[in-house]
Structure 1
Amino acid sequence: MRIGIPQETKNRETRVALTPEGARQLAEAGHDVCVEQGAGTAAFLPDREYEAAGARIVSTAEAWDADLVLKVKEPVEREYDLLRDNVLFTFLHLAANEPLAAALVAARTTAFSYDTVQLDDGSLPLLTPMSAVAGRLATLEGGHRLLSSQGGRGVLIAGAPGVAGARVVVIGGGVAGSNALAQAVGMGADAVVIDLDEDRLESLAATYGDAVRTVVSTPEAIEREALAADLVIGAVLVPGHRAPRVLSRDTVLAMRPGAVLVDIAIDQGGCFEVSRPTTHDDPVFTVGDVQVYCVANMPGAVGATATAALTHATLPYVTAIAGGWQGAVEADPALARGLNTDAGTVRYPAVAQAFPHLPADPLAAPGPADR
């Protein structure tokens, strides 16, 4: 199979969908690996390393004209004309992106989304490594924005001798939220985590003891904790669906002057009412006296680390798809759940629900267990 790896086009996106070592494994399996010229440069993976691994360096058009196209981020509008009736494997977040859903349907693309590949236990094996990276970055970026030089409250997350650390509130205790929490605790924050799942809160309490205060999620609790916070990190995820809005504009307007919001869920539409996507070049906007950080490709800030982590997770699935996607779907329910569009129809139930006017034939894959 001819496998294409285009260069990413999203603002400051430094990741690439495949490392040279991943390219070597696919080439040794007999596949024709076509990497767009310069695709790995921003992750410090030069073309010569791909060529040494057995890949070919090609143009943009050739990379997109492959049987299977691997990307990191969803195609942006200027790439819609490159879509066709081949297989695309990338992050899509379609439930929050109607124009892309319509473009994939129109192009008859067989599109699998990393973020909806889901194991029987409900876990998301391809989203997990990037969620972990984004969670850790959220605390680091939030701490940076709290500096007076950045317009923040002048509060150090770690505090100082005799001075408490910043109050960091994490909404959502999943992979991204727990990694944000771990980073906050490690930096010495006065940390709070809010979640609906009391078992999850109990587990976090057992891990961190008195270093973290756990709170069961209610609208009243979220408002109360946000008003007392220096930094609020939103990490709410409903797999495949648009993120629920858990923090109102009115609450944001009443927060402490110089406080910071970081919305990790922005790829799925954002979990704060005020959220809108931002870029690495222009990462924050203000609502009242609060800074809001909503960069939609946070792991792009650490492209070398994130590219390696993503390839480790995706390569087994890429190998399966390259052997024939229909057979791969039949053999692996987790991959079947990742199918979002095919043959001019929406196949993922939550996307069909979000955009009922698009033609749909939801795939009847077994649902995750124990959810």
Structure 2
Amino acid sequence: MGSGRQRAQSFMILATMLYRASHLTAGVLAVVQHQRVVAAQYAGLAVALGLSVLGYGAALRRGWFDPRHIWADVLVTGCALPFVLCTWGGAREPASLEWAMLLGGSASAAASIALERVQALAALALLVAAHLVGYQLVGASPAVVGHVNSVLSSAVMAWVFWWYLRRQGRLLDDANARALGAETHKARYAERLEHHRALHDTVLATLTTLAAGGVDANAPAVRERCAREAAYLRRLIQQTAAEVPHREIGAALEEAVGSVESLQLRVTTQYHDLPKVPPHVAAAFADAVREALNNVRRHAGTGHAYLTATHDPDRPGGAVVTVVDRGPGFDPERYVPGLGLRGSVHGRMAQAGGRASVDTAPGEGVRVELRWPA
């Protein structure tokens, strides 16, 4: 679509071209009906048509008018043509000259927007003079005022339209620039938030467990997990989001389960007829599952969790993943969700177009259900 100014230019080219086309149509009808045997009338019409095709064709290709073509149109079509018709075209009355004078109106409209201010005023003065002298030659003094007004009003209206469209184009470009800046800022914020969630679910979870003394820091599984997360931090620094490898949902869930099992949480998994989902959805499921399992290890007081993943029987192509523990549960009315549950579980699923729900009660354990699409 281009910038706002480019749209304004395209509109003005089209508007003035249609204005010229209406005058050429009137010229064709006038010559065919009243000047059938005067070759100069046909020649003048052909010249006006040729200059119009040249000027507007070049404007459509380049995106704006060439001042040389505008001056050629003003001098030949707007100024010289009426005198040629009076001298060689048999124009002895206003009706035989009027179609040529009409072309001066569309010439003034194009000149007012395509030429610099001083040049546009000079072109307008030449067109007005040509109208005054031309109608004097055919004895049509009463018609001079109306036709001069047409030349002037065409120029003024075209210039006003052009000024207004340029102004609106600048406002549109400014608004687009602000919107682009806001989107860029939003994307950067979302990327930072995603990094924060990832660090919360991986590195922070590992460090919290090690600090609490719940696992042996020298155990091979713990050391392996620490090595994986160190590699993850290096990738986070070096790569963009577009470079993150895409994974199927089953592989993504297995990776999430494996990362938590290295911290001595046993997870019983069951997969059945998993659908193919977009890569970002698989990543959202995996990250939400990882945080749900981290919550089991930290808060449930049990070393065992259950994960089930299957297709959604109610939505073709959808998926449902549940994480269940048999811990003490909690009262949802009195519990304020923390960052992990809000951002890493609910937030991630919502961003991917899914949803998460938590079903629990005191003494009943916790069931986290992840569903996509919502």
Question: Larger strand proportion, structure 1 or 2?
Answer: 1
Pick the structure with more helix per residue: 2
Q: TM-score per shorter chain, which class?
A: under 0.3
TM-score of the pair, normalised by structure 1: 0.24
Larger C-alpha radius of gyration, 1 or 2? 2
Q: What TM-score, normalized to structure 2? A: 0.24
